[in-house]
């Protein structure tokens, strides 16, 4: 009787589907282990325990790619109709499954031969890389013999796929009253979990996984190639246009106009101050009264009384800008001085490039580093990027350990998480570099019930959230001031991007990027308002300059605190156009030429194009050089200072 029940279940279509899918998952895992074995000399630091972690992380990407590519097979097998029991129908389904997965295994294996030349998995950029190679077929033919062991391994995998494939033979009872309801439910449940598997998770805070998420499992960027698989990398970048250098300048000319390699020569010894970088969600400059004394004839108060008081004791900037309009634009810009050009860095095919960061640079000086974000671990890809950027530890909702303080949508409430942040820093060895990314000033713009009616509601729901988070900062600094090392700490404050615009003065292409950026060193002379334009990419070099850092480093930004020798400019990217800001002008550049110039001091609403009446040759040349450096260094994996 027991065996009959087993046979009954064993022949069910969903069991057959599960067996075949697990077969392919197993073959991809074998492929990963084979890849590691043939290139083990490249991964010298990977221990057995770490390899298991890499393989476990790889299952997530295998699942996503294989569910996506096998979705037609899954649908055809799980459709609640008796036609699927037809022999011809099953032959067609078998051909689809074996053909699709043979190609996927082939892609994975072919990429093994290509890996030594790129040190990363192949993406759709491969079409651009080889589009002019007329002898491509000859190259492939030679590679089949040169890498015979990979060819043989691929053949074995495909043979195992064919041999291990399970056919579906069952003939069901056509008169069963539960057949259609039962199998419809099975189909709907399968679709639901297939979508979750392809996305890599579920919930309001979960973005579909992309290549950058592999970083949360690795210790070195090159290990991404173990975690990832080629079909995932290929299909996740299929809608992305590979970068192409504009070739405005020769290899000799380019670094003379602009280079992101900085070689500082400080006049004093390095000072090991603690560094605390605070990234506030959606804190537009518009919301802060300190910057807006001229709005409403001086009657505008803003929503940040604490920040207003702190700004009066800090070095701040009249014109300070975000690199982009999304949270994922801010992380690379603030921490690694990589701007958002064309598309967010962590969504590009080049996200597995080796990068440096403020944590990575200061770690080499003996600093401890930690990143804090109160959302569920893995949210927004922050944990993965923090790992890639070299942060020693990550503190998320898991490490916080008290879900009662969860806001129900995004993260731990700012007040509680900032207190946790302060308490943790009280236990860290010095010097340290820490970063926190707040969350409460986010849609759906709620505050804890105990604070209902406590903060000005303003003209938009976000305004009371800004007031709440400002109060959380006040309580945070009250606690921080009790630590004996408080005055030995440099606080860096910025926002990730702007949010709802409610004042006419900010309803421009300039205002859409205006955020606060300021530096606070308790008890120091680091104070006053600067007219130098600055952006998030200037934070890394400015911090290093203030610390008298004495080694070469990589950054697209500039030191706006101590370097007075270079002209300071800012570039950001706005819906297909680059925007360059000087101390008084905004240039709009389409990638080829400047289309508009505005004097934002005299023309705050940017209504008068003065392109034909100003000399912008040097600014335009500099902008072209920055863009070329960015694109070529992305393509060639040159986002660090090489020893």
Three-state DSSP at 198 gives helix
CA gap 133, 621 in Å, rounded: 33
Q: How many beta carbons lie within 10 A of that of residue 605, not counting itself? A: 13
**pLDDT of residue 582 exceeding 90:** yes
Residues 6+ apart with CB under 8 A from 578: 341, 571, 572, 588, 589, 590, 591, 623, 627
**pLDDT of residue 467 exceeding 60:** yes
CA torsion 549→553→554→555, rounded to 10°? 10
Identify which has the larger pLDDT, 212 or 103: 103
Q: What percent of the chain has pLDDT over 70?
A: 92
**pLDDT of residue 219 exceeding 80:** no
CA gap 587, 580 in Å, rounded: 5
Q: Among all chains, which residue has been given the structure tokens 């004495």?
A: 550
CA gap 80, 487 in Å, rounded: 69
pLDDT digit string, tens, across residues 302-323: 999 999 999 999 999 999 999 9
Three-state DSSP at 641 gives coil
CA gap 263, 252 in Å, rounded: 18
Specify the range with the lowest mean pLDDT, choosing from 235-249, 274-288, 518-532, 550-564: 235-249
Identify which has the larger pLDDT, 604 or 177: 604
**pLDDT of residue 81 exceeding 90:** no
User: Are 228 and 214 in contact, with CB atoms under 8 Å apart?
Assistant: yes
Backbone angles phi, psi at 432, to 5 degrees: -135, 155
Specify the range with the lowest mean pLDDT, choosing from 169-173, 208-212, 374-378, 457-461: 169-173
pLDDT band at 242 (very low <50, low <70, confident <90, very high): confident
pLDDT band at 541 (very low <50, low <70, confident <90, very high): very high
Report CA-CA distances (Å) from 273 to 140, 202, 481, 486, 546: 55, 40, 15, 10, 9
3-state per-residue secondary structure call for 176-230: CCCHHHHHHHHHHHHHHHHHHHHHCCCCCCCCCCCHHHHHHHCCCHHHHHHHCCH
pLDDT digit string, tens, across residues 400-453: 999 999 988 889 999 999 999 999 999 999 999 999 999 999 888 899 999 999
pLDDT band at 117 (very low <50, low <70, confident <90, very high): low
pLDDT band at 127 (very low <50, low <70, confident <90, very high): low
CA gap 301, 313 in Å, rounded: 18
pLDDT for 139 equals 55
pLDDT for 592 equals 83
pTM to 2 decimal places: 0.78
**pLDDT of residue 614 exceeding 70:** yes
pLDDT for 115 equals 77
Identify which has the larger pLDDT, 92 or 205: 92
pLDDT for 132 equals 44
pLDDT for 142 equals 65
User: Are 100 and 205 in contact, with CB atoms under 8 Å apart?
Assistant: no
pLDDT for 126 equals 63
pLDDT for 352 equals 83
User: Are 445 and 464 in contact, with CB atoms under 8 Å apart?
Assistant: yes
CA gap 320, 316 in Å, rounded: 9
Q: Where are the beta strands (DSSP E) in 242-310?
A: 261-262, 274-280
User: Are 302 and 308 in contact, with CB atoms under 8 Å apart?
Assistant: yes
pLDDT for 138 equals 57
Taken in order of first residue, the domains within the chain and their CATH numbers are: 2-236 (no CATH), 276-547+555-635 (3.40.720.10)
Backbone angles phi, psi at 99, to 5 degrees: -65, -50
Backbone angles phi, psi at 200, to 5 degrees: 90, 15
Identify which has the larger pLDDT, 477 or 329: 477
pLDDT band at 492 (very low <50, low <70, confident <90, very high): very high
pLDDT band at 99 (very low <50, low <70, confident <90, very high): very high
Residue 529 — left, alpha, or beta (φ > 0 → left; ψ -120 to 50 → alpha)? Answer: beta
Report CA-CA distances (Å) from 549 to 32, 334, 358, 559: 41, 18, 11, 11
**pLDDT of residue 9 exceeding 70:** no
Mean pLDDT of 28-45: 89
The mean pLDDT of the chain is 88
pLDDT digit string, tens, across residues 322-346: 998 888 889 999 999 999 988 888 8
Mean pLDDT of 94-117: 89
Mean pLDDT of 440-469: 92
**pLDDT of residue 151 exceeding 80:** yes
pLDDT for 483 equals 96
pLDDT for 239 equals 72
* C-alpha closest to that of 43 among 215, 217, 230, 218: 218
Angle at which helix 71-78 crosses helix 87-118, to 10 degrees, equals 160
pLDDT band at 183 (very low <50, low <70, confident <90, very high): confident
pLDDT band at 36 (very low <50, low <70, confident <90, very high): very high
pLDDT for 1 equals 44
**Cα dihedral 152, 153, 155, 159 sign:** positive
Q: Where are the beta strands (DSSP E) in 416-479?
A: 432-437
pLDDT for 123 equals 75
């Amino acid at each position: 009787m027991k065996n009959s029940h087993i046979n009954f279940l064993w022949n069910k279509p969903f069991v057959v589907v599960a067996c075949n899918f697990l077969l392919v998952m197993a073959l991809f895992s074998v492929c990963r282990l084979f890849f590691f074995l043939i290139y083990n000399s490249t991964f010298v630091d990977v221990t057995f325990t770490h390899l298991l972690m890499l393989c476990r992380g790889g299952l997530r990407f295998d699942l996503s790619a294989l569910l996506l590519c096998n979705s037609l097979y899954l649908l055809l097998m799980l459709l609640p109709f008796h036609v699927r029991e037809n022999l011809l129908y099953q032959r067609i389904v078998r051909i689809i499954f074996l053909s699709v997965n043979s190609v996927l295994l082939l892609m994975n294996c072919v990429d093994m031969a290509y890996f030594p030349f790129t040190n990363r998995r192949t993406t759709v950029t491969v079409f651009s890389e080889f589009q002019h190679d007329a002898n491509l077929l000859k190259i492939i033919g030679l590679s089949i013999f040169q890498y015979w062991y990979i060819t043989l391994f691929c053949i074995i995998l495909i043979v195992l796929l064919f041999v291990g494939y399970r056919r579906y033979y069952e003939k069901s009872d056509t008169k069963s009253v539960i057949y259609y309801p039962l199998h419809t439910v099975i189909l709907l449940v399968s679709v639901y979990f297939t979508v979750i598997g392809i996305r890599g998770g579920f919930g309001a805070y979960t973005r579909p996984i992309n290549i950058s998420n592999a970083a949360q499992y690795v210790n070195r960027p090159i290990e991404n190639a173990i975690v990832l698989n080629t079909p995932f990398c290929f299909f996740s970048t299929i809608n992305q246009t590979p970068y192409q250098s504009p070739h405005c300048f020769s290899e000799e000319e380019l670094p003379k106009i602009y280079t992101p390699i900085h070689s500082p020569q400080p006049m004093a010894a390095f000072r090991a101050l603690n560094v605390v970088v605070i990234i506030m969600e959606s804190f537009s400059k518009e919301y802060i009264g300190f910057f807006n004394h001229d709005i409403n004839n001086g009657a505008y108060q803003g929503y940040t009384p604490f920040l207003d008081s702190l700004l009066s004791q800090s070095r701040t900037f009249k014109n300070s800008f975000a690199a982009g309009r999304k949270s994922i634009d801010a992380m690379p810009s603030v921490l690694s001085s990589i701007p958002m050009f064309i598309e967010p860095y962590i969504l590009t095919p080049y996200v597995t490039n080796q990068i440096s960061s403020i944590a990575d640079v200061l770690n080499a000086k003996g600093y401890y580093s930690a990143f804090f974000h109160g959302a569920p671990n893995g949210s927004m890809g922050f944990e993965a990027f923090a790992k890639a950027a070299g942060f020693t530890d990550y503190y998320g909702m898991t490490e916080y350990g008290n879900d009662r303080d969860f806001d129900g949508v995004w993260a731990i409430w700012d007040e509680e998480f900032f207190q946790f942040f302060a308490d943790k820093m009280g236990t860290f060895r010095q010097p340290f570099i820490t970063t926190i990314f707040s969350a409460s000033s986010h849609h759906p713009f709620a505050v804890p019930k105990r604070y209902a009616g406590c903060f000005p509601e303003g003209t938009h729901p976000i305004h009371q959230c800004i007031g709440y988070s400002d109060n959380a900062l006040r309580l945070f600094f009250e606690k921080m001031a009790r630590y004996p090392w408080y005055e030995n700490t440099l606080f860096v404050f910025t926002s990730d991007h702007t949010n709802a615009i409610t004042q006419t003065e900010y309803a421009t292409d300039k205002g859409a990027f205006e955020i606060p950026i300021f530096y606070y060193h308790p008890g120091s002379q680091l104070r006053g308002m600067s007219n130098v334009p600055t952006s998030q990419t200037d934070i890394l070099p400015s911090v290093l300059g203030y610390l008298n850092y004495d080694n070469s480093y990589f950054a697209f930004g500039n030191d706006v605190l101590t370097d007075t020798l270079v002209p300071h400019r800012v570039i950001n990217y706005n819906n297909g156009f680059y925007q360059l800001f000087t101390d008084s002008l905004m240039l709009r550049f389409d990638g080829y030429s400047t289309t508009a110039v505005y004097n934002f001091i005299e023309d705050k609403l940017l209504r008068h194009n003065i392109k034909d009446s100003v000399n912008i040759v040097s600014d335009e040349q500099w902008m072209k050089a920055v863009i070329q450096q960015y694109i070529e260094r992305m393509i060639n994996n040159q986002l660090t200072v090489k020893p």
